Chain A
Amino acid sequence: MSEVKYSKEHEWIKLDGEEATIGITKHATEMLGDIVFAELPEKGSNVDKDGTAGVVESTKAASDVYTPVSGEVIDTNQMIVDDPSKINEDPEESAWFFKLKIKDKSEMDSLMSKEEYDKFAKETSA
């Protein structure tokens, strides 16, 4: 079974073997409002844990997207670049951002479980 974890920067990460899929949480999209622009990392590039790996913009403001783990970018989701509103519609499934070949699985350990994240999101938005 694949493992899903969450970061304090409101990204979710799903790990299947060595392949990690990363996106932003539903809670993040609710805070951002209507998303009108998405920028993704380049395929083949290497990203470092907690480093910038993309941008989303709502009508109001721009926000960086961070990667919760290090790795090589093996795929990006062109669908959300072509139609950023998909991120608001289905943030935790079809509107994923990028896939990584994960460098160090132990980086997953410091991330939050679903329950921990929900509690964190509730506390930080109150």
Chain B
Amino acid sequence: MSIKKTSLNNLHIKYGAKLVEFAGYQMPIQYKDGIIQEHKYTRSRSGIFDVSHMGQLFISGGDDLTNDLEKIFPADLKKLKTNQSKYSFLMNNKGGIQDDLIITKTSDGFLIILNAACKYNDYEVIKSKLDNQYKLNLDESLSLIALQGPEAKNVLNKVIPGCDSLKFMNGNNYVYKNEKVYITRSGYTGEDGFEISIKHSDAETFVESLIENGSKLIGLGARDTLRMEAGLCLYGNDLDNDTSPIEANLKWAIPKSRIETEFVGSEVLKNQFQSGVKKLRVGIKPDSKVIARGNTKIYNDKNQEIGKVTSGTFGPSVEHPIAMGYVDNSYSTVNTKIFLEVRGKKIPANICNLPFYKKNYVKGEINV
């Protein structure tokens, strides 16, 4: 299979991107400024992220769609108002996460944003679970651009007036160059921000106008350090087919109203809600400057293995190494002393609260 390029590929090259292959796409890992400067620019001003590799799945048609989707996803879709979004999961029968995603109710159905590496499989799974009764469109004619940071609302409002009135986890239709764009107030950096779904042919001029208004392109490298500081999971690292949302400490994303109802994986989840789980995702802060990356083994003070790190880096804003991972539930309490095996040495660390960096979202009427 040949490597795919997004509509912003020429722009990435123009701004000096180092390009890498990610989920079948040629994507920018960083630009000229480097990961730390890009990270800090997003936290202090605003950053533009090309997330066009992610899937935009539109589902419509039929009065029973909401009911049928609730048989798949553990979200309260009946209560969702038009243009409201929820974070949810596509699970297997064992309650393992096949993908984490954002579901938005649209005027004629739902829009689901899927991870790039999972999107084609998700499409097939969802289509088959819906018995081919509805219209599914994994729309590859649209780019997806995220604008994140404290200045995001001012920058975007200059290009598309009125979007600063959106509440967090809400979306709406806007017009850019006489074409419809769909904007949601959301993101994955721990900052206030927006995701803009826009025609490929308009994406480049749109991004250039954001840059003219003071924003900068940011690569996948900084996207990773930003999401880690915000305590957010990356599918494939922190979430996988063998890990349930309860184990991933994402219980908050499963509303109480759905616990007793049926959806894919509900038996396992109900059981875990009642009896607890063996492993739990936690935040980890090493005592020293040593960085523990994914797959680092975690030990207790008796030298027994109790888990492993799933993501780890140096947090440019917290100015310290940070990590997250899974430990045996009896070690998941904050301030528990643990040891990380890095290059043959046991590095002392503590279990800590997530996020490492405090969020700065604009709160809407609905808490997520």
Contacts and interface: CB of A to CB of B under 8 A. Distances in A.
A85 B319 CA distance: 12
Contacts, number: 37
B291 A57 contact: yes
Interface stretch (B27-35, B144-152, B233-241, B300-308): B27-35
Interface residues of A, number: 14
Contacts of B37: 34
B343 A59 contact: no
A62 B314 contact: no
A39 B321 CA distance: 14
B221 A33 contact: yes
B228 to A, nearest CB: 10
Contact of B35 (A34, A57, A62, A81): A34
Interface in B310-334: 313-314, 316, 321
Interface string A42-65: 000000000000010111111000
A10 to B, nearest CB: 17
B289 A59 contact: no
Given A33-B221, A34-B36, A59 B293 contact: no
Contacts of A60: 29, 35, 221
User: Which of B29, B37, B221 gathers most chain A CB within 10 Å?
Assistant: B221
Contact of A33 (B34, B289, B290, B343): B34
Interface size on B, as a range, is: 10 to 19
Contacts of A36: 36, 291, 314
A36 B34 CA distance: 12
Interface string B280-300: 000000000111010000000
Given A33-B30, A33-B221, A34-B34, A59 B313 contact: yes
22 contacts: A33-B30, A33-B34, A33-B221, A34-B34, A34-B35, A34-B36, A36-B314, A37-B289, A37-B291, A37-B314, A39-B290, A58-B35, A59-B35, A59-B36, A59-B39, A59-B225, A59-B314, A59-B316, A60-B29, A60-B35, A60-B221, A81-B289
Interface of A: 33-34, 36-37, 39, 55, 57-62, 81, 85
